[in-house]
Chains A and B, each alone.
Chain A
């Protein structure tokens, strides 16, 4: 969207990323690269490091080793303005984390007016267009606690989109939702993929991952153990750990 792609044309490149919390090493050398319009799904058991990886990409967690390069710029080097970097990266959390004291509209305009310094009217026009597009315009004056979980999560995604990010990170965005509310959120994400949004999606929804992802990465104990096109990962995984994981998902009836 903004910033010229560099020679290799990658929106995001992660090299040798290590991250520990105290003695616990959560990420043990992650390498991952995304081209523009690419959608990558991260699958793996809880605790495999999916969320930590996404939080590291948004610079919400300091990393121990390795590099994160966005559009050719090493954003993990010293002295980088993290606020500027975060404006280009959207992240949506499992628990929505809307601001409960603000209306839906203000939730969506806060970033554009304060971080991007847009005028209130520009920000509102942008917010209303997005709310309209995803069927939430009638909720603009409501407070988050008046909305269903699915609506809140869609607002949270719209809040990120209003920043017009280069890349969108989705951290198990349907995991906290009642089953009947999941599809509305997934439909929205599908539409974003069709519109060409570059995304990294951590998810437990295997069916969804299968039909939206260009590439699926299986995280296991802090490394990307296996990656490939969804058909290959889901139909003929090479690694025994991947087979085991997919088998357990299958048995839980979630595929």
Chain B
């Protein structure tokens, strides 16, 4: 399957042709242990402890460590600021959830527009292509500035003036371009014989898409979609650039300005990691499961 590049749309789960014996991805971390049994596990544990201890010792005993510790790992500062940052993170989750719903719907619309055949639909295809080219070609942060500051500044009647509202709209517009490409890869991966079957039953083109192509396509692209979810969760921090009411990153920034200490950023990072690491693991697990299923010969 060819996923046409893009930071948000990584290659799916098919092995590159001609290299069937590549190591099986990140989830191969623990591979090799089971083969060597208890002895292997023991060696792994001992060497891990030694390596981490040595690294830690070198860092802590380096000349500038006290400075670094004061600036980034200040316990008192952390205790002081973390609860505030953690509660502000709820706002990031809220931005994420709202944006994701619209992204999934709008991106699917874009992908379907692009897959419509025939000369009649050329304008729709062209619009979809221009849209994805445009929004994948410019930095998301730029779109956030443009809409987040630009639209409220115009003070148009009947148009929301909230910076946060337009920043989230910017995220939706930008991420939809990436997610549309993921959907499209999925749609194009469905064998034409499936469409022939549906059409031969007298289903219309749209019915074939709705009942046969899209359900299968979406199932296949769940792992890369989740990857984009992880990216979106992180990029909710971009809203910080245009809002007065802080989310986690902005809150950390305010604390940093107040105390001239960078530890609050560590607190914000921890909050993001709490959400993104499980999501990344879930993606790995899904990819692994999909691969196993394919090797077992199952169709889906």
Residues of A within 8 A of B (CB): 58, 60, 83-84, 86-87, 89-91, 93, 95, 97-101, 110-111, 114-116, 144-145, 159-160, 163
Contacts and interface: CB of A to CB of B under 8 A. Distances in A.
Given A100-B299, A110-B211, A144-B299, A116 B197 contact: no
A60 B216 contact: no
Contacts of B31: none
17 contacts: A60-B200, A83-B203, A84-B202, A86-B201, A87-B202, A93-B197, A97-B194, A97-B197, A101-B219, A101-B300, A110-B203, A110-B211, A114-B203, A115-B201, A145-B298, A163-B201, A163-B202
Given A100-B216, A145-B299, A93 B203 contact: no
B202 A99 contact: no
Contacts of A84: 202
Which 4 residue pairs across A and B have the least CB separation, nearest first?
A87-B202, A111-B201, A115-B202, A97-B197
B300 A86 contact: no
B193 interface: yes
Contacts of A101: 215-216, 219, 300
A160 B197 CA distance: 10
B199 interface: yes
B193 A114 contact: no
Interface string B170-209: 0000000000000000000000011011111111100100
B111 to A, nearest CB: 18
Contacts of B200: 58, 60, 86, 89-91, 160
B193 A93 contact: yes
A83 B215 contact: no
Contacts of A114: 201, 203, 207, 211
B197 A145 contact: no
Nearest to A87: B202
Most buried by B among A89, A111, A144, A163: A111
A115 B196 contact: no
A58 B200 CA distance: 7
Given A99-B194, A110-B203, A111-B202, 4 more contacts: A60-B200, A86-B199, A115-B203, A160-B201
A10 to B, nearest CB: 22
A248 to B, nearest CB: 29
Nearest to A97: B197
A60 B196 contact: yes
Nearest to A107: B197
Most buried by B among A86, A93, A99, A159: A99
A145 B202 contact: no
Interface string B266-300: 00000000000000000000000000000000111
Contacts of B300: 100-101, 145
B3 interface: no
Main secondary structure on B side of the interface with A: helix
B249 to A, nearest CB: 40
A114 B205 CA distance: 12
A89 B202 CA distance: 9
A111 B219 CA distance: 22
Given A100-B300, A144-B299, A110 B199 contact: no
Interface string B203-240: 11001000110011001000000000000000000000
Contacts of B204: 83
B194 to A, nearest CB: 6
A239 B98 CA distance: 72
A198 B101 CA distance: 50
Nearest to B196: A60
A2 to B, nearest CB: 13
A116 B193 CA distance: 21
Nearest to A156: B197
Contacts of A86: 199-202
Contacts of B203: 83, 110-111, 114-115
Contacts of B212: 99
B298 to A, nearest CB: 5
Contacts of A83: 199, 202-204
Given A99-B197, A100-B300, A116 B202 contact: yes
A142 to B, nearest CB: 13
A171 to B, nearest CB: 10
Contacts of A97: 193-194, 196-197
Highest count of chain B CB atoms <10 Å: which of A98, A114, A160:
A114
B187 to A, nearest CB: 14
B193 to A, nearest CB: 5
Nearest to A89: B200
A154 to B, nearest CB: 15
Nearest to A116: B202
A98 B212 CA distance: 10
A64 B198 CA distance: 24
A155 to B, nearest CB: 12
Contacts of B211: 99, 110, 114
